[in-house]
Amino acid sequence: MTERADLIERIIEQASAYLTDPPRGDDPVISLASPAELVETFSASVGLDFANTASAHADDDLLAAVEKVIEYSMHTSHPRFVNQNFAGPDPISVVGDWLGAALNTTGATFEVAPVFTMMETAVLSKLGRFAGYVDSDDDNSASAHLPTLPPGLFCAGGSMGTLFALQLARHRHQPDVTTAGSNGDRLAMFVSDSGHYAASKSAALLGIGTAGVIKVASDHGGAMIPEALDAAIDQAIADGKTPFAVIGTSGTTVTSAFDDLNALADICEARNLWLHVDGCYGGSALFSESEAHRLAGVERSDSFVWNLHKMMGMTQQCTALLVKKPEQLAACFAARADYLFQSDKLNAEYDSGDRTFQCARRIDVLKLWLTWKARGDEGFAERIDHAVAMGDHTRARIGASNGAFTSLVSGDFTNEVFAWVPPHLRPLQLDDPSSLRDEVHAELHACPPRIKARMQADGSGMIGYQPIHGLNTFRMICMSTTLQTEDVDALLDAIDAAGMEAYA
């Protein structure tokens, strides 16, 4: 019998009860506690911190501590958690993750991950077909789709995938960069000014420098303006820089905008630049017949990062880096450690570890494989269609709010960026915040943080805000499967109630 089997069993019971019946409705999304209160809360059981000498604790104390962990954590499965572009997980993904953890191994070599290596090949091949990187032939048998070299690999998150993709791009530009280091070119890469900061962080790490990241203007909705990209490339060349890569974003973090990938691909092909697609958020639109058009042209890109832990409800993290030419991965990353990747062992050709930067690699594929097999393509498509329907409902509710809310960026996907308007300022047109009078701008700008803090305190909802065109506005992200029309209504009512209270 496993040591402390009773403790393990009882923690599983607590986790399972949470998983099958998480907080909902009028339950608080968060039980807000200050850092000091959190420390105090745990002092009744095992203590949060560790003394210099830290002894083992009894089962009952540990179980009491686990209860507090659950009580004070953010309830991301709650329908009123719309704070970020992830939410509560698909329960099947949770148990898949748990099973993977129980089997604790690394995806680096076939010998220690025989099943997971084959699963990774199968899932990447299917994702590659969605992205148009891998041909979909007429043979619908699964084995017809198992290539020896999968079109990418799973990696530890979207920022990491962006970093690896840009290293591939730099390697294509200068093939001896991995041995000789930079040849002195002042490299330039391009991303829209609505793109994710992973581009700048990657440039900093790769030695390109953030000065090499050129932010291209986006339109009001947040999509890159292709003509501005062309002009920015010309300007970079005139400034003595060497363009090497463009990042197109499919689903921007704030407004869920989609760049026109065909227009970007035309420019990249004409100028021989690497086209990377950041599909971390919106890549999952490919699962839906009615939404896939948003990524038209993705098949013309060179690399594509897709976070399945965002719209698809996988536990964090679950990120696929897809590459058009998979052989570039080994050319760029291989270090040939002979204690691990012996070429004369069984099935050495299936080892994936030398095709990436990481050594140990979580087997994130298992939870995705299990969930996909359980839900089918149709279940995955439903998730996306439901999210867009909730986005549409939000837009309709805001439009019918008699001026209590007004949209700043009203897209047609999952995100809506809007303001709550104090009664004395209604009705308010918000297309261009820079045209607002200074005192109106200041008053509106102060609303979201005040309202959010009230909602955190009473647990009535968790919604993000950010400055857009200089003005703090709410961002509603409709991507959780638990979110229904009545929850959207309740959330908007909670914002209105908190606003009225704050301004009464």
Ligand X SMILES: Cc1ncc(COP(=O)(O)O)c(C=O)c1O
Q: What secondary structure letter does DSSP report for 56? A: P
Among 317, 394, 473, 481, interactor with ligand X by CB under 6 A = 317
At residue 168, the 3 state secondary structure works out as helix
Taking CB under 6 A as the criterion, the residue among 28, 88, 100, 158 binding ligand X is 158
23-62 mask for ligand X (x: CB under 6 A)? Answer: ----------------------------------------
From the centroid of its chain, how far is CA 46?
34
Q: What share of the chain is helix, strand, coil (3-state, %, to 5)?
A: 45, 15, 40
284 binds ligand X (CB under 6 A): no
**Considering the complex, what minimum distance in angstroms separates the CB of residue 253 from ligand X?**
4
As a whole number of angstroms, the distance between CA 266 and CA 272 comes to 10
Q: Is 277 left (phi over 0), alpha (psi -120 to 50) or beta?
A: beta
Across 56-210, where does the E strand assignment appear?
A: 81-82, 152-155, 187-192
CB of 61 to ligand X, least distance (A): 35
Kindly tell me which of 97 and 278 has the beta carbon lying closer to ligand X. Answer: 278
- Tell me how long the chain is: 504
- Contact residue for ligand X among 90, 120, 259, 278 (CB under 6 A): 278
Q: What is the signed CA dihedral for 96, 98, 103, 108, rounded to 10 degrees?
A: 70
| DSSP, residue by residue, 393-447 | HHHHHHHTSTTSEEEEEE-SSSEEEEEE--GGG-S---S-GGGS-HHHHHHHHHH
Task: Out of 77, 109, 159, 284, name the contact with ligand X by CB under 6 A.
Answer: 159
| CB of residue 162 to ligand X, shortest distance in Å | 6
Q: Does 85 help bind ligand X (rule: CB under 6 A)?
A: yes
Residues 192-221 that bind ligand X (CB under 6 A): 196, 198
Nearer to ligand X, 280 or 419 (CB): 280
Q: Could you say which of 281, 304, 306, 372 contacts ligand X (CB under 6 A)?
A: 281
- Nearest approach, Cβ of 60 to ligand X (angstroms)? 37
Q: Dihedral of the CA atoms 105, 108, 110, 114 (nearest 10)?
A: 40
How far apart are CB 120 and ligand X at their closest, in Å? Answer: 18
Sheet containing 187-192, strands listed edge to edge, beginning at the edge strand earlier in sequence: 152-155, 319-323, 303-307, 274-278, 242-249, 187-192, 213-216
User: In angstroms, what is the minimal distance from the CB of 411 to ligand X?
Assistant: 14
Tokens in use for 240? 């003595």
Residue whose beta carbon is closest to ligand X: 158
CB of 388 vs ligand X, minimal distance in Å: 17
CB 96 within 8 A of CB 370: yes
Applying CB under 6 A, what is the total number of residues that bind ligand X? 16
Identify which of residues 110 and 306 has a Cβ nearer to ligand X in the complex. Answer: 306
Torsion sign (Cα): 63, 68, 69, 74: positive
- Coil, strand or helix at 239: coil
Which bin fits 274, alpha (ψ -120 to 50), beta or left (φ > 0)? beta
With contacts defined by CB under 6 A, name the span among 110-118, 151-159, 418-426, 474-482 that binds ligand X. 151-159
Compute the least distance from the CB of residue 208 to ligand X, in Å: 18
Element (H, E) at 215: strand 213-216
Q: Whose structure tokens read 């494989």?
A: 369
Decide whether 128 or 161 has the Cβ nearer to ligand X. Answer: 161
**Which residues within the stretch 239-258 sit at the binding site for ligand X (CB under 6 A)?**
249, 251-253
Task: Report in angstroms how near the CB of residue 277 gets to ligand X at its nearest.
Answer: 10
- 498 lies in the binding site for ligand X (CB under 6 A): no
Q: Per CB under 6 A, which region of 14-22, 276-284, 321-329, 414-422 contacts ligand X?
A: 276-284
**x-marked contacts with ligand X along 105-134 as a string, rule CB under 6 A:** ------------------------------
Spatial separation of the C-alpha atoms in residues 251 and 364, rounded to whole Å: 22
**Minimum distance, C-beta of residue 324 to ligand X, in the bound complex (Å):** 19
Q: What is the contact mask toward ligand X in residues 404 to 443, using x (rule: CB under 6 A)?
A: ----------------------------------------
C-alpha closest to that of 310 among 42, 87, 103, 142 = 87
Tokens of 257: 């905008």
Binding region for ligand X (CB under 6 A) out of 2-10, 152-160, 338-346, 424-432: 152-160
**Does 76 engage in binding with ligand X (CB under 6 A)?**
no
CB of 3 to ligand X, least distance (A): 36
Cβ closer to ligand X: 24 or 215? 215
Chain residues binding ligand X by CB under 6 A are 85, 157-159, 196, 198, 249, 251-253, 278, 280-281, 307, 317, 319
